Amino acid sequence: MRTYNLFRLKGLDGLVCAVPEDYAVPHFVTEARWAFGGTLDGSAPGRAGFDRAAAATAVRFNGFYLFQSLAPAGD
């Protein structure tokens, strides 16, 4: 599995944009609206709400993957 940079939408709990580390961050992900939420890589067990198969498909078509995280905001 590839490594993703995760960005959380400020003010809306749980919405996350996952971007492969070797891809450009989408233009809508700005510092004013999104906060960096860490990384997710193949050695990690995964993040609640992150679907690897869906991420692979979304990245192939869009270059990013949006998902609703089921993990607590501080996680």
**For residues 45 and 36, what is the distance between their CA atoms, to the nearest angstrom?**
20
Confidence of residue 67 (pLDDT cuts 50, 70, 90): very high
Q: Say if CB 65 and CB 20 are below 8 A apart.
A: no
- Residue 4: CB atoms within 10 A of its CB come to 26
Q: What is the pLDDT of residues 8-58, one digit of tens each?
A: 999 877 899 999 999 999 999 999 999 999 999 855 556 678 888 899 999
Higher pLDDT, residue 20 or 1: 20
For residue 62, the 8-state DSSP code is H
Cα–Cα nearest to 49, from 71, 21, 19: 71
